[in-house]
C-alpha cells in the first residue's frame, strides 16, 4: 500500500509538471510579447506611455480618435496625430534613439509612427519621417516602409489581428526598422536631402489615418543613443 501511494504521488506530480509546462507553451504570443519589459528597462529602455492615460501626449484636430482601453492606446476615428510631449528627452526632443512599440492592426487599417516631428494642430505632419503601419489597407506601402522614401511594397512583414513589435532605430543618418526582431528596412539619408521630410530632431507621433482604421499601441518605450 505504501509503494502504491508513493507511485500515485509521483504520477500526480509528473502530471502537474506536464500541465504546467503546456500552459506556458500554449500562452498566445499576443500575451507573451510583453515579457521582455523588465530586461528592456535594465538595458536603458524608458517607457514613454504610462499604460493608463494619455498624460504626456497631445492629440491634434480630431482628439477623440485616441483613447485608452485595457492597457492599450486605441486609435479609431478620423485623421489625427498623437504627439509625445512627456518628460523624456526634454519633452520629446529626440536626436539619436531607438523606439519599440507593440502594435495590433485590424484588417484594412492604416496608421504610422512619425519621428523627428513636431506638434501641429491640423493635417499630415510636415516635419520628420513616417514609419508606416499597414498590413492590408489598399495603400501599397506596407509596414516597415519609410513612407514615400524607402518603401516596403505590397507584402507586409506581419499579419492583421495579432500583436507585433515595431523597432525603430535612428543613429546619425542611418534609419533601421525591425519587425519582431527582423530587419525589414535600412536607409541612410543623403547629406543633400532638402525639405522638411528629413532627419533633424523632434518628437514621436502616432497616427489616426481614417475612420475605417482601427489600431492598438502598447508598451511604448525609447532608448537614447549618444549624439
User: Measuring CA to CA, which residue among 199, 181, 180, 203 is closest to residue 190?
Assistant: 199
Dihedrals φ, ψ of 142, to 5°?
A: -105, 175
Rounded Cα–Cα distance for residues 157 and 209 (Å): 20
pLDDT for 41 equals 61
pLDDT of residue 2: 44
pLDDT above 90 (res 208): yes
Which strand (E) or helix (H) includes residue 12?
helix 2-25
Select from 48, 55, 53 the least CA-distant residue to 100.
48
Quick one: what percent of the chain has pLDDT higher than 70?
81
Entry pTM = 0.84
Residues 13-31 have pLDDT tens digits of 444 444 444 443 333 444 4
Per-residue pLDDT of 128-161, as tens digits, reads 999 999 999 999 999 999 999 999 999 999 999 9
Any domain includes 192: yes
pLDDT band at residue 33 under the 50/70/90 scheme: low
Residue 218 sits in a domain of what CATH number? 2.60.120.560
Establish if 34 belongs to a structural domain. no
Question: What integer pLDDT is reported at residue 11 of this predicted model?
Answer: 42
Q: How far apart are CA 106 and CA 215, in angstroms?
A: 6
Its domain, for residue 145, covers: 44-224
Q: What is d(CA 7, CA 137) in angstroms, rounded to the nearest whole number?
A: 59
Query: Is residue 17 included in any domain, yes or no?
Result: no
Instruction: Output 7 or 95, whichever has higher pLDDT.
Output: 95
Domain presence at residue 216? yes
Nearest to 101 by CA among 156, 180, 41: 180
98 belongs to a structural domain: yes
pLDDT computed for residue 40 by the predictor: 62
Task: Provide the domain count of the chain.
Answer: 1
Residue 15 in any domain: the answer is no
Asked whether residue 72 is assigned to any structural domain, the reply reads yes
In percent, the amount of the chain with pLDDT more than 90 equals 81
Residue 137 located in a structural domain: yes
Task: Copy the grid coordinates of residue 66.
Answer: 485616441
pLDDT at 10: 46
**Residue 43 is placed in which grid cell?**
538595458
Predicted confidence at residue 170, as pLDDT, reads 98
Chain segment 164-189, per-residue pLDDT in tens: 999 999 999 999 999 999 999 999 99
Instruction: Please state, rounded to an integer, the average pLDDT across all residues of the chain.
Output: 88
Question: pLDDT category, 43, cuts 50, 70, 90?
Answer: confident
Amino acid at each position: 500500500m505504501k509503494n502504491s501511494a508513493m507511485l500515485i504521488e509521483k504520477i500526480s506530480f509528473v502530471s502537474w509538471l506536464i500541465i504546467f509546462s503546456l500552459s506556458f507553451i500554449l500562452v498566445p504570443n499576443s500575451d507573451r510579447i510583453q515579457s521582455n519589459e523588465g530586461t528592456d528597462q535594465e538595458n536603458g529602455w524608458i517607457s514613454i506611455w504610462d499604460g493608463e492615460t494619455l498624460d504626456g501626449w497631445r492629440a491634434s484636430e480630431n482628439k477623440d480618435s485616441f483613447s485608452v482601453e485595457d492597457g492599450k492606446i486605441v486609435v479609431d476615428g478620423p485623421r489625427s496625430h498623437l504627439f509625445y510631449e512627456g518628460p523624456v528627452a526634454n519633452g520629446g526632443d529626440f536626436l539619436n534613439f531607438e523606439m519599440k512599440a507593440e502594435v495590433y492592426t485590424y484588417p484594412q487599417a492604416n496608421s504610422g509612427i512619425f519621428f523627428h516631428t513636431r506638434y501641429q494642430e491640423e493635417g499630415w505632419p510636415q516635419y520628420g519621417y513616417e514609419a508606416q503601419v499597414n498590413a492590408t489597407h489598399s495603400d501599397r506601402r506596407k509596414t516597415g516602409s519609410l513612407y514615400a522614401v524607402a518603401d516596403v511594397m505590397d507584402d507586409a512583414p506581419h499579419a492583421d489581428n495579432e500583436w507585433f513589435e515595431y523597432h525603430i532605430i535612428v543613429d546619425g543618418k542611418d534609419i533601421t526598422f525591425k519587425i519582431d526582431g527582423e530587419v525589414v528596412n535600412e536607409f541612410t539619408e543623403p547629406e543633400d536631402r532638402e525639405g522638411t521630410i528629413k532627419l533633424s530632431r523632434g518628437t514621436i507621433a502616432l497616427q489616426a489615418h481614417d475612420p475605417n482604421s482601427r489600431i492598438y499601441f502598447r508598451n511604448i518605450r525609447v532608448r537614447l543613443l549618444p549624439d
